[in-house]
Structure 1
Amino acid sequence: MTSQASRSFSGPIFRDADILARIIQSYAQTKQLNKGKEVHAQLLRSGHPICTFLTNHLLNMYSKCGELDYALNLFGKMSQRNIVSWTAMITGYSQNLRISEALKAFSQLRFSGEKPTQFAFASVIKACLSLRSIELGRQMHCLALKFGFCCDIHVGTNLADLYSKCGVMVDACKFCEEMPCKDAVLWTAMIDGHAKNGDYGAALLALKSMMEDEILIDQHVLCSTLNACAALKAHDFGKCVHSGIVKFGFELHVVVGNALIDMYSKVGDMESASNVFGIVSDYRNIVSFTSLINGYVEMDQIEKAVNLFVYLRMQGIDPNEFTFSSLIKACANQAALEQGGQLHAQVVKFSYDGDPYVSSGLIDMYGKCGLLDHSIRVFNGMGNLTDISWNSLLSVFSQHGLGKEVVQTFDKMVLAGVKPNAITFVSLLIGCSHAGMVEEGLYYFNSMEKIYGVVPKEEHYSCVIDLLGRAGRLKEAEDFINSMPFEPNAFGWCSFLGACRTLGDKERGKIAAEKLMKLEPENSGAHVLLSNLYAKERKWEDVRSLRKMMRDGNMKKLPGYSWVDVGNKTHIFGVEDWSHPQKKEIYKRLDTLLDQIKEAGYVPYTDSIPFDMDDNEKEKFLHHHSERIAIAFALISMPPEKPVIVKKNIRVCVDCHSAIKYISKVVGRKIIVRDNSRFHHFIDGLCSCGDYW
C-alpha cells in the first residue's frame, strides 16, 4: 500500500488520483479507518492541495467508519465543493443517525444552488424514516418528483420503505406499482411492510410477484414471508417456502432457521419445528430455543417446554425475557404454582423482574393459581407500570370476582395517565358482572367510546349480556341483544341461556339455546344448559327428548374434572372417581365431612339431578362430585396451615358451592376453587362471591 500510495505524488494527477480513490474506497468498504488515515496523512505531507475528487472519497471513508467529526472538519476546509461532496455528508449523517444534521445539510445543498442527486434523496428519505416523519417524507417525495427521480430505483425503494414502515401501505403499494423496474430491496420493503402492518395475505402475494419477476430472494424476504405464514396459519404455503429455503441454501442460516421454527410452532406443526431445530443444532441460539418452547406452550405440551428449558440451561445458554414470558404463561394456564414459583426465582436471578412483560406474566400466573396477594406484591414491586401491567392486575381481580377492587384499580390506572384499551374494559365489565355491580358496569360500557375512545367489540357486548343476565334482568338483556349492531357471539348467548336456566325462563332459554346451537353445533353445552332448565321446571319429557337428541347426534357432555397439586404432583379426580391409590382414606374423610357439614346445617340441593334417581342416589351422586373428592384428598395430604387450592374445568354446581362453604367452616381451612368462570375463596362458611356467580 505504501509504495502504491507514494507513487500518487509523481506522474499524471488523474491516473494517481484514480488509484488513490480506489484504495480509499476499499478502506471505506472494509472499515479500515487507520489505514485510511495513513493515506490522508501522506496526502497532507506531500504539500500538494488535495483535489475535490479525492476529498470526496475521504469524506465517504470517514463517514462510513463513523468518524463524522473528521468528515465535517474536512468538509469545512474544502475550497471547492460539488454535489458529490454534499451527498457524501448527507449520506454520512443519515447512516450515523445524526438525523437533524442530515436534513440541515440537505437544505444547505439546496441553498448552494446544487441540484440534489438520487443518492442525496435516498439518504434524506432514510433520515425521514428514522424520524418516522411521514409529513417530511411526503415533502421529499414531491421534491424527488420535481427533479425527476421518482422512478429511480434508489429513491423509489426508500420511499416505498418509508411509506410501508410508517403504516401508509396504500401509498407504498401505489408507488411500487408505478415503479418500472423493481429490485430485491423494493420487494423486501413491500413484503416486510405488509407483514408488519398485519396484511399477511398481501405479503404472500408480494412474494409471488417477486418470484414471477425472477428477483433473487434473500434471507430478509424469507424471514418476513415466514412471519406472514405464521400469522395466517398458512401451513402449506410455509412448507413451500421451506422448500425454497432448502433450494437456495439458506436452511443452515440461523436467522432463517429460527423463522422456520417459529412458523412451524405457530401453525401447530411441532414435529417439523423440532426437525428444523435439530438441523440448525450447530447454529441455534436463545431465539431458536424460545421459539420452540413457545410452540410447545401454545400446544399445551408443557412438559416438553419445561424439559427444553432445562436443556438450554445445561447447554450454558441464558434465557431471555421472551423465554420466561412463554414458560410463565404455561404455568398460568395450568395453574402450576410450584413450577411458576421456581421460574420466578430464575427471573430474579437473571434480573428480568423489571421487564413489564415478564412481571405482568407473573401477576397473571399467581392470580390464576389463586394467590391474589402474590399478584399484588409483584405489581407493587414494578417500577415502570405499563398498560400491560395494569391490565394484568385488572384481569386477576376480575377472575376473583372482586368488582370493587377492579373499579378502584381502573381509577388509579387512569389517574396515572395510562390509557385504557379494549382489554381493560373486558376485565372491568367482567369484574362488575361477577360482583353484581350492574349500574357501574353499564356506565363503563357507555363511556368506552365517549370518554376513552375505545369502540366496543363483540366481547364487550357479551359482557353486558352477562352483566344483566346474572342480575336477573332478562328483559333488559333481551332488549340489549335486540339493539346490538351485530348478533351476539357464543359467549353472549351462553351467558343469556345460563341466566334463563337460573331464573327458569324456558321461552327465552329455548331461543338462546337455538342460537347457540347454530353458532356451535358440536358444543354440547347448550343442550346441557337447556336440559337443566327443563329439569328445574320438572319438564321431564323435554329433558328426555333433549337427551335423545344428544345421543342421536353422538354428543357427549363434557365430563367434570378437578385437580389439586400436592408434593410437586398434580392429582386429577372425576365424578365418583375410584382410581386413586389412596381411595380408602379419601372416601373415609369424605364421609366424615358429610356428617360434619350436615350437623352444621348443610341440606343437599337435588333439584337439577336427573329424575330417574331416588333422593338417596341423588345425594350420593352430589357427594361424589370431583371437587369434593379433590378437597378431601387435599385435607389428608397437605399441612393444615396451607390453603386448599382446587381447579375445576366446568362451573361449580350450586350444591357443591353450598357444601364447600360448610366444609371451610367445620375444618377451619381456607379453600380456593377455580372453576371455568372465576375463583371462589371459601373462609369460615362464607364465599368471596357472596353467592353471586
Structure 2
Amino acid sequence: MIPFSCRNVKLFPENFICTPFFMNFQPLRLFGGQILKEESTTLAQVIQSYAKTKQLNKGKELHAHLLRTHYPLCIFLTNHLLNMYSKCGHVDYALKVFDQMPHRNLVSWTAMVTGFSQNLRFSESFKAFSQMRIAGESPTQFAFASVISACVVLGSVEIGRQLHSLALKLGLACELFVGSNLADMYSKCGFMVEACKVFEEMPSKDAVSWTSMIDGYAKSGDFEAALLTYKRMVSDGIGIDKHVVSSALSACSALEACQFGKCVHSTGVKLGLEVEVAVGNALVDVYSKSGDMESALNVFRVDPECRNIVSYSSLINGYVVMDKIEKAFSVFVDLQRRGAEPNQFTFSSLIKACANQAALEQGIQLHAQVVKFNFDRDDFVSSVLVDMYGRCGLLDHSIQVFDEVPTPTEVAWNSLLSVFAVHGLGNDALKTFSRMVQAGVKPNAITFISLLTGCSHSGLVEEGLKYFYSLEKTYGIVPRAGHYSCVIDLLGRAGRLEEAEEFINSMPMQPNAFGWCSFLGACTIHGDKERGKLAAEKLIQLEPENSGAHVLLSTIYAKEQKWEDFRGVRRIMRDSSMKKLPGYSWIDIGNKTHTFGAEDWSHPQKKEIYEKLDSLLDQIKKAGYVPNTDLVLRDMDDNSKVELLHHHSERIAIAFAMISMPAGKPIIVKKNIRVCLDCHSAIKYISLVVGRKIIVRDNTRFHHFADGLCSCGDYW
C-alpha cells in the first residue's frame, strides 16, 4: 500500500526507555493466533484515557512498550493510537503510524481527516479526505464534519458546496453533524439563504446548529432574522447556553432593541448565565448602545471578577454616545486603577469624545497613552486621532498623524478628507481623493459625503457636481439622502437657488431635514423669501420641534418687515414652549473650559474681559471695521445694536483668551451655532490689529483668521 505521506517523522527518540509501569502487563493470551478481545479492549481503554487527558508521554511510552514486546497491533488498537496522537496535538506521530499500517479501514481514514482538522492543518485534512475517497471508502458524517469545518476557517465556500453535493449524493446531508456544520459553514461565510435551507431541511437540530444560525445572521447584518431564530429556538424548547444568549444580545445591541435585550437578559438570569463573562459583556454593550446607562452599570457591577476590557470599553462608549464625557473618563481611570489594559476600542471612544468636545488637552494626553500601548500604528485609532486634531483646529497635527500610518485604509483616508472638508479646504480634499484612488483604496459612500462637503464650503460647485454624477456610473455607489443633501447645500451656498430647487424636484426621494435646513439657510442668506418660506414649511413638517426652522422663518419675515408674521411665528414658538437655541462659545485654558453666552457678565474676570473687549473695539474701528447693524432684527437704535453685536459670545471668548494666554499661542474658540457676518468681519480685524492667529469652529466648519483674512475667503 502506498503511504499517505512520505515525510520522515521520527516517532520516538533513540534513547527512549520504557518505565516500569508497563512491566505489569501480563504475557499475551492468544487463541488460534488471535489476541483475545478482552486484552485489546483493555489496552484501547488505556489509550483512550490518555487521549482524553492529553497525556502524550504516557501514550508514547505505552506504544513503545507494545513495539518492544512485539505486541501484534491489530487495526482496532492502531486506530486508537491514531486518535490519541491527534488529540494530543502530535498529528505527525499519527501520520507515521498511519503510513506504516498494512491495512486501513474507514475508522483509520476518519481519524486522520479529523486529526488534521483538529490540529489546524486544513489542506492536509482535505488531502486525506480525497485519498480516502480514492481508496474506495465512503466518508462518515464525522469526516464530513471535519472538512466542512476546515472550509469555515479557510473561507472556502466553493469547496464547501462540493462537499455539500457529495453529502447529498451519499445521503448524509441531513445527518446531525453534517447538517450542523454545513449550516455553520454557509452562515459564517455569509451565505445565509443556503444556511437557512440546510437548517430547515435537518430533521433534528441540536443547540450547536441553532447557535450557528443566530450567530451567522448577526454577523451578516441580518439582526432581525437572528432574533427571530432565537425566538423559534426558545419556543421549540431547545436548551439555551451562554453562546446563544451572547449571540442574541449582540443582535439586540446592533438594533438597539433594549426591550428584547431585557427579555434575553431575564432568560440569562434564570439560567444563571449573567455571571458568564461573554454574557455580561454583551449585556453591558446592549444597554450602553440603547442609552440605558443605569442598567449597563448595574450589570457591570454584578460580579467585579467578570469585568474585563470588553465590558469597560462598552461602558465608556455608552457614556461617550450619551455625551457624558466626565463619566467616560472616570471609567477609564477605574480600569487603569484595576490593572486592566485599554485596547484600541477604548482609546477610539475616548478620543472621539475629545473630538466632539474639541478637548485638545485631554486628546493630547490620550495620544501619549496610545503611543505607550503601541496602538499608534493601528488604523482605526490613527483615524480618530486624525479626526480629533482636525476638530480641535490643529490641521498640521492631523496631516502628521495620517502620514505616519503605514498603509492607510479607507477609514484613515475618509478621516483626512473629513478634516479638510470641515476646515473648508476643498482643493486639498480633491487632491487627497486623487491620492486615495491612486493608492488603490476604493472610496465608499462616506468618502463622497466629505468630498462634497469640502466642495460646498469652498464654492467648488462644478467639481462637486461632477463627483456627484460620477458616484454610481464610475464608482458603483448609489447616492443616498446624505449625498443629495450635500448637493442642495453646494448649490444653495453658491446662491444658485433656482438650480437647487430644480434639483430637489428631480430627486428620487424627498430631502431629509438637513437638506431642507441647508436650502432654508441659503434662502435666508441670499434673500429669497418665497423659496425660504417653502423650505421652512417643509422643515417644520419633518421636525415640528426644530426651533431653528422657526427662527429662520421669522428672520425672513423680519427682513421683509412683515412684523405681524414675525410675531406670529414667535407666538407659535412661545405657545409650544419652543425655545430658541442660545448661542454660546467656549475656550479651553489649561485644563479648564470657559463658556460664554451673549452679553455674558457671569465670569469672575468680567471687568478685565470687558475692558479688553472695549479696547479691541476701538482698535478695529480705527483699522476700518464698520458694524453691520442691519443684522440686528430688533426695534432699537443703532448704538444699542452695535453694543449687542459687540457682546456676542465669540468676541467675549477671544477677549478672555487674550488676557489669559501667552501672546504666541493661537486662540481656538468653539461656537455652537453659525458665526454671524458681523463677528466674522470683526475677528478678521482683530487678527490684524493684534497680530495673532485666531481659529473659530462653529457648528459647520472652521475659520482660520490671520493678518486680517479668513481661510474661508468670506465664503461659508
With structure 1 as the length reference, what TM-score do the two structures score?
A: 0.98
Indicate if the aligned counterparts of 1:536 and 1:608 stay in contact, CA closer than 8 A. no
SS in 2 for 1:645: strand
1:47, 1:177 → 2: CA distance?
Answer: 53
| 2:567 paired with 1:544 | yes
| 2:229 paired with 1:206 | yes
1:675 corresponds in structure 2 to 698
Deviates more, 1:344-353 or 1:20-29: 20-29
SS in 2 for 1:565: strand
Matches within 5 A, 1:335-414: 335-414=358-437
1:93, 1:606 → 2: CA distance?
Answer: 82
- Deviation of 1:21 after TM superposition, in Å, equals 2.1
Deviation string 1:215-270 (CA, Å, 9 cap, x unpaired) is: 21111111111111111111122122222222111222222211111111111111
1:680, 1:543 → 2: CA distance?
Answer: 31
| 2:545 paired with 1:522 | yes
1:188, 1:640 → 2: CA distance?
Answer: 64
2:110 corresponds in structure 1 to 87
| 2:169 paired with 1:143 | no
Match of 1:301 among 324, 328, 344: 324
Indicate if the aligned counterparts of 1:134 and 1:163 stay in contact, CA closer than 8 A. yes
Change (3 A) 1:661 1:139: same
Indicate if the aligned counterparts of 2:22 and 2:62 stay in contact, CA closer than 8 A. no
1:453, 1:8 → 2: CA distance?
Answer: 77
1:576 corresponds in structure 2 to 599
Indicate if the aligned counterparts of 1:163 and 1:169 stay in contact, CA closer than 8 A. yes
- Deviation of 1:48 after TM superposition, in Å, equals 2.3
1:6 corresponds in structure 2 to 25
Q: What is the letter of the counterpart of residue 88 of structure 1? A: A
1:227 corresponds in structure 2 to 250
Matches within 5 A, 1:102-113: 102-113=125-136
1:98 corresponds in structure 2 to 121
- Deviation of 1:486 after TM superposition, in Å, equals 0.8
1:309, 1:546 → 2: CA distance?
Answer: 47
1:460 corresponds in structure 2 to 483
Match of 2:285 among 262, 270, 280: 262
Deviation string 1:478-509 (CA, Å, 9 cap, x unpaired) is: 11111111111111111111111111111111
- Deviation of 1:22 after TM superposition, in Å, equals 2.4
1:5, 1:603 → 2: CA distance?
Answer: 109
Indicate if the aligned counterparts of 2:540 and 2:549 stay in contact, CA closer than 8 A. yes
1:25 corresponds in structure 2 to 48
- Deviation of 1:148 after TM superposition, in Å, equals 0.7
Deviates more, 1:30-39 or 1:141-150: 30-39
Indicate if the aligned counterparts of 1:9 and 1:46 stay in contact, CA closer than 8 A. no
SS in 2 for 1:578: coil
Deviates more, 1:408-417 or 1:66-75: 66-75
Q: What is the letter of the counterpart of residue 25 of structure 2? A: S
Indicate if the aligned counterparts of 2:584 and 2:596 stay in contact, CA closer than 8 A. yes
SS in 2 for 1:173: helix
2:509 corresponds in structure 1 to 486
Q: What is the letter of the counterpart of residue 262 of structure 1? A: D
Q: What is the letter of the counterpart of residue 538 of structure 2? A: K
Indicate if the aligned counterparts of 1:328 and 1:365 stay in contact, CA closer than 8 A. yes
Match of 2:639 among 616, 619, 622: 616
Q: What is the letter of the counterpart of residue 6 of structure 1? A: F
Change (3 A) 1:575 1:4: farther
Deviates more, 1:42-51 or 1:221-230: 42-51
Q: What is the letter of the counterpart of residue 192 of structure 2? A: M
- Deviation of 1:8 after TM superposition, in Å, equals 8.5
SS in 2 for 1:607: helix
| 2:53 paired with 1:34 | no
1:650 corresponds in structure 2 to 673
- Deviation of 1:26 after TM superposition, in Å, equals 2.5
1:344, 1:109 → 2: CA distance?
Answer: 57
| 2:682 paired with 1:687 | no
- Deviation of 1:122 after TM superposition, in Å, equals 0.9
- Deviation of 1:23 after TM superposition, in Å, equals 2.4
Indicate if the aligned counterparts of 1:481 and 1:488 stay in contact, CA closer than 8 A. yes
Indicate if the aligned counterparts of 1:8 and 1:20 stay in contact, CA closer than 8 A. no
Q: What is the letter of the counterpart of residue 683 of structure 2? A: I
Indicate if the aligned counterparts of 1:5 and 1:20 stay in contact, CA closer than 8 A. no
Indicate if the aligned counterparts of 1:56 and 1:84 stay in contact, CA closer than 8 A. yes
1:528, 1:46 → 2: CA distance?
Answer: 98
Q: What is the letter of the counterpart of residue 140 of structure 1? A: L
Indicate if the aligned counterparts of 1:496 and 1:512 stay in contact, CA closer than 8 A. yes
1:469 corresponds in structure 2 to 492
Q: What is the letter of the counterpart of residue 472 of structure 2? A: E
Indicate if the aligned counterparts of 1:532 and 1:608 stay in contact, CA closer than 8 A. no
| 2:579 paired with 1:556 | yes
Q: Which runs of 4+ in 1 moved over 6 A?
A: none
| 2:69 paired with 1:46 | yes
Change (3 A) 1:472 1:41: same
Change (3 A) 1:586 1:3: same
SS in 1 for 2:234: helix
Matches within 5 A, 1:157-172: 157-172=180-195
- Determine what percentage of the aligned residue pairs are the same residue: 70
1:115, 1:261 → 2: CA distance?
Answer: 49
Deviates more, 1:209-218 or 1:458-467: 209-218
1:260, 1:607 → 2: CA distance?
Answer: 56
- Deviation of 1:280 after TM superposition, in Å, equals 2.0
SS in 2 for 1:79: coil
- Deviation of 1:439 after TM superposition, in Å, equals 0.8
| 2:688 paired with 1:665 | yes
| 2:472 paired with 1:445 | no
1:55, 1:601 → 2: CA distance?
Answer: 100
Change (3 A) 1:607 1:16: farther
- Deviation of 1:471 after TM superposition, in Å, equals 0.8
Q: What is the letter of the counterpart of residue 92 of structure 1? A: G
- Deviation of 1:62 after TM superposition, in Å, equals 1.6
Indicate if the aligned counterparts of 2:361 and 2:590 stay in contact, CA closer than 8 A. no
1:348, 1:45 → 2: CA distance?
Answer: 60
1:251, 1:611 → 2: CA distance?
Answer: 61
- Deviation of 1:441 after TM superposition, in Å, equals 0.6
Indicate if the aligned counterparts of 1:397 and 1:406 stay in contact, CA closer than 8 A. yes
With structure 2 as the length reference, what TM-score do the two structures score?
A: 0.94
- Deviation of 1:80 after TM superposition, in Å, equals 0.8
* Cα RMSD after superposing both structures: 1.5
2:329, 2:409 → 1: CA distance?
Answer: 28
Indicate if the aligned counterparts of 1:504 and 1:537 stay in contact, CA closer than 8 A. no
1:456, 1:386 → 2: CA distance?
Answer: 22
- Deviation of 1:7 after TM superposition, in Å, equals 4.9
1:222, 1:458 → 2: CA distance?
Answer: 36
Q: What is the letter of the counterpart of residue 264 of structure 1? A: Y
**Structure 1 portions without partners, runs of 5+:** none
1:26, 1:260 → 2: CA distance?
Answer: 39
1:512, 1:24 → 2: CA distance?
Answer: 81
Indicate if the aligned counterparts of 1:254 and 1:280 stay in contact, CA closer than 8 A. no
Indicate if the aligned counterparts of 1:525 and 1:557 stay in contact, CA closer than 8 A. yes
Count of aligned pairs: 693
- Deviation of 1:624 after TM superposition, in Å, equals 1.1
Change (3 A) 1:593 1:4: farther
1:496 corresponds in structure 2 to 519
Deviation string 1:274-299 (CA, Å, 9 cap, x unpaired) is: 12222220232222222211121111
Indicate if the aligned counterparts of 1:190 and 1:203 stay in contact, CA closer than 8 A. yes
**Structure 2 portions without partners, runs of 5+:** 1-19
Deviation string 1:408-454 (CA, Å, 9 cap, x unpaired) is: 11111111111111111111110011000011111111111211222
2:27, 2:275 → 1: CA distance?
Answer: 46
Change (3 A) 1:673 1:8: farther
